[in-house]
Structure 1
Amino acid sequence: MNNTMKQINIGMFGYGTVGKGLHDVLKQICPENVRIEQVCVLHTEKHQDIGLPITNRPEDIFNNPAVNLIVELISDEEAAYCIVKHALQKGLPVVSGNKKMLANHLEELIEIQERQQVALLYDASACGSIPVIRNLEEYYDNDLLISVKGILNGSSNFILSKVFNEDMSYKDALQLAQQLGFAEADPTLDIGGWDTLYKLIIITMHAFGIYIRPEQIFTFGIGNMKECDINFAREKRRRIKVVGCAEKIDSERLSLSVMPQLISRQKYIYSVEDEFNGVVIKGLFYYKQFMFGRGAGGHPTGSAVLSDITAQLYRYKYEYKKRNSLRKPTFTNDFTFRIYYRYTHKEDLRLISFVNIEESYNSAHNNYIVGTVTMAELLQKADTLRKADIFLAAYPLD
């Protein structure tokens, strides 16, 4: 049986930042056995000069007999889901970069690809140029993994880097990120923690073999951060970073969260700056290993997409070994941890119940508490907390 593919002819959906980045990478590398056969875009008039056959009809791609790989690089979650599902059902392998779509439909798509015996690859959907998914699949494929955590969103990290390194205001840093293309005109996905959440769900499937729905995970961003929160971090000789965390509480239970953390200098991710991502993988015997690279941008992400594409030359597929294991951990929000909680109005102090309080401060302009809370309560009140004039961050002891 021949397990190799001699030629890859891509039917590509979308020609935005990543699609153009992939095209640029291919033009520079000029691989003999990979080419873009046809591109489907919403508005063909905007892409007449790209030097590729274009269409605005998805069926043109699916009915093209030369196409033997679908590359989905569009922002619309529902459209991406329809494209990927249809391709898999037709027996066409797929490379996808749509993290929100994958996070919401991963279990179903895994079942379809297993039934159809066809590959769905998406390393580029999590952490851009860092091959974290492939590494979790191939190298960390045992029961010794304790945690995977890190900076998974380059946009929010760029903003925080400018705030802490160059004394820019949060507002100015956000505007700069938007001007440079690191943040969208509506930056909610990035600064709200949602982009990190979708990546964390995908990573968790490959790290621990379980699928957790987005609404089950406490998610909080930096949209409510103020100068007093930045000053608190500086006084404690820490930096604020948005961290996605999947961590075993014990041998049988796993916790997930996305939220700002007050990071101390000795942590690897303390020095991850600008639009870069950093992922720390911790194991029982090998302790910690650190992966670092660009997490955003057309060329870094396009290069990661190409890595998934060329893997199909050898019929590579994710095996989901941990998903099929009998020793998967159980997801839980039933645990306590330490936070910094800044509030403006007294009634906001009553939004959550502290198990204990270590430190409190009151002034005419801001108030804060450092204490222990339960993750279950934060999740229950997440919508209220995001709308209130408060800011909170995990505050580990070390």
Structure 2
Amino acid sequence: MSRKTLNIGLFGFGCVGLGLYEVLQKTPALKASIKNICVKDREKERAIGKENFTFDKNDILDDESINVVVELIDDADAAFEIVSAALRKGKAVVSANKKMIAEHFAELLELQKEYNVPLLYEAACCASMPIIRNLEEYYDNDLLESIEGIVNGSTNYILTKTFEEDLSYDEALLQAQEKGFAESNPILDTGGFDAKYKLTILLAHAFGHVAKPKDIFNIGIDNIGELELKYAKEKKLKIKLVAQAYKQNDGSISAYVIPKFITPDDRLYNVDDVFNGVITKTSFADTHFFVGRGAGSLPTASAVLSDISALSYDYRYEYKKIYREEDTNLSNETLVKVLLRHKKADSEALKDYFENVEESYSNNDLGYITGTISLNSLI
């Protein structure tokens, strides 16, 4: 099969946009070139000449010679307008906007079907790590039981710095922002929302379930305190923000994002810095472990480049698991193991929520309970 030539209209020229521009210069065999770049800020200094830019989205959307739109902007609402308009005009689309895709998944699915054009978004989940295409293709015929992993490089970087270098949370967050790992609004990362958007997308490709982000419970790392950090270090554990989804015996799916204590024998234990790691478990093949850089301009650009390369061979997601229309629903009945920090006066009342209490401690002001609790009770 021969490659077709791709003329790209690029929206956004931040870290990832510049990274894509650079990697395209180094891959001439791809037969893909950027014809026009649409940006918002007219005054911002750019790494390449002004002749490469436009400030009118229609210069790209109405250009019939452009057959691929690559969307790399922060604003999820503006991104949806651009992507949906491009699909309606019969242009293939590559996006890295996990919030936009998660919030509009069903609509984007219909647009792809109606206008017979592909939308690819590998970079939206784990940057350089090719997890979506593996879930879509490799695990199609195997019975996938669970998927769990570190899917946010920024929070992993922050947690690594607090454990290995004893930096404060604020110092580590500032470093992550300075290096371009953290989102412009850090609560998207630190509050677990970014990981939840990614899990929403992974759910569709892993189990064929199209969920709304609001249906998935998330706790971030922004409220982790000295007590939790000290507890983890004393027990020789690490804390990681983990997104997870499990198929229950009744066919329902449990999906949530929470900080988790990780033991040294867990594969996620050594996934540090901005790396992502995902573990899949199937009925026949047992577990597989994927690891790769989960943040940064060039790692994310590499995933965008991979999608562009796939488009040159007319690749598209088939969404076979979704179209099987199996009856799947989300359930919050699963049990999770937690450490719950509390005020001393609340100790006995909180114990009633636990299915099993393993450890309980309190001093004059604060305390904690460890044990198992249903996700419903935790919520």
Residue identity opposite 1:353 in structure 2: Y
Q: CA deviation at 1:6?
A: 2.3
Q: Are positions 1:26 and 2:51 aligned together?
A: no
What amino acid is the match of 1:189?
L
Partner in structure 1 of residue 43 of structure 2: 45
Task: Specify the alignment match of 1:367 in structure 2.
Answer: 367
CA deviation after TM superposition for structure 1 residue 48, in Å: 5.6
Distance between the aligned counterparts of 1:139 and 1:335, measured in 2?
A: 27
What CA distance in whole angstroms lies between the structure 2 residues aligned with 1:98 and 1:176? 23
Tell which deviates more after alignment, 25-34 or 294-303.
Answer: 25-34
Contact 2:344 2:365 in 1 (8 A): no
**Fraction of identical pairs, as percent:** 46
Cα pair 1:209 1:328 within 8 Å, conserved: no
**Deviations for 1:69-119, whole angstroms, at most 9, x for unmatched residues?**
110000001000001111111111100110000000011101110121110
Offset of residue 4 of structure 1: 5.7
Matched residues in 2 for 1:76 and 1:218: separation?
Answer: 23
Q: Within 2, Cα distance between the matches of 1:86 and 1:319?
A: 21
Between 168-177 and 274-283, report the one with greater CA deviation.
Answer: 168-177
Letter in 2 for 1:359: E
- Map 1:4-153 onto structure 2 (within 5 A): 6-31=4-29, 33-47=31-45, 50-51=48-49, 53-153=52-152
TM-score normalized by the length of structure 2: 0.94
Runs of 4+ that moved beyond 6 A: none
Runs of at least 5 residues in structure 1 that lack an aligned partner in the other structure: 380-398
Paired residue for 2:226? 227
Q: Where does 1:1-398 land on structure 2 (aligned, <5 Å)? A: 6-31=4-29, 33-47=31-45, 50-51=48-49, 53-184=52-183, 186-250=185-249, 252-327=251-326, 329-344=328-343, 346-347=345-346, 350=349, 353-379=353-379
Q: 2:232 and 2:220 mapped to 1: Cα distance?
A: 16
User: What's the CA shift string for 1:232-279, capped at 9, x where partnerless?
Assistant: 112222111000001112251210000101111111101001001001
- Gap regions ≥5 residues in structure 2: none
Partners of 2:155 and 2:277 lie apart in 1 by: 13
Q: Output the amino acid matched with 1:245.
A: Q
TM superposition shift of 1:366: 2.8
Q: What letter matches 1:149 in structure 2?
A: E
Change (3 A) 1:32 1:272: closer
Cα deviation, residue 177, structure 1: 1.9
Shift of residue 180, structure 1, vs aligned partner:
2.3
Q: Which SS does the other structure have where 1:261 is aligned?
A: strand
C-alpha deviation, 1:355, in angstroms: 3.0
Give the whole-Å Cα distance in 2 for the aligned partners of 1:125 and 1:327. Answer: 25
Q: Distance in 2 between matches of 1:61 and 1:350?
A: 60
Paired residues of 1:44 and 1:54 also in contact (CA < 8 A): no
Deviation at 1:5, TM superposition (A): 5.4
Superposed CA RMSD? 1.9
Q: How many residues end up aligned between the 2 structures?
A: 377
Partner letter of residue 371 of structure 1? G
